[in-house]
Amino acid sequence: MSEKAYLTARGNEAEVFLPAGTTVQVRAKTNAKATQKVRLATKDGAVNEEFTGTGERNTIIGETTVTPGEKFLLNAVFEYAGDDGVFQPSSLRWGGPYEIGKYNLLVAVAENGDDSDYNDTILEFSWYTK
């Protein structure tokens, strides 16, 4: 039996465990005027991505696909640039995995403190099961 996907967060860092052997779509979106940044990395260096950008209405600031091997653990760090251009930690919330038929979704959402809607950065992990 394979282990289930999960996402947990502490501070501005999320730990993501994804199912082995499944192609997972990773997409970062923003709904903020302040520059948002998400860094994704695995300990072994198999994944090392950084998505940065601004925009409203779910502007995509980066996307990639990953195919996790066994015990695949991904770290995601969320930050935003203040008026001075210096990056600071965002605040996180998360949900999932949500199973909708064969479609699966994990999501982390970040807030930069200018309001409280937790949509300044949205990081989605989605995949299909057989």
Instruction: Provide the whole-model pTM.
Output: 0.94
d(CA 38, CA 36): 7
**Tokens 């730990």 correspond to what residue?**
15
- Banded model confidence at residue 1, pLDDT cuts 50, 70, 90: very low
Question: Do 122 and 106 form a contact (C-beta atoms < 8 A)?
Answer: no
Q: pLDDT, tens digit, for every residue of 34-81?
A: 999 999 999 888 899 999 999 999 999 999 999 998 878 999 999 999
Mean pLDDT of the chain: 94
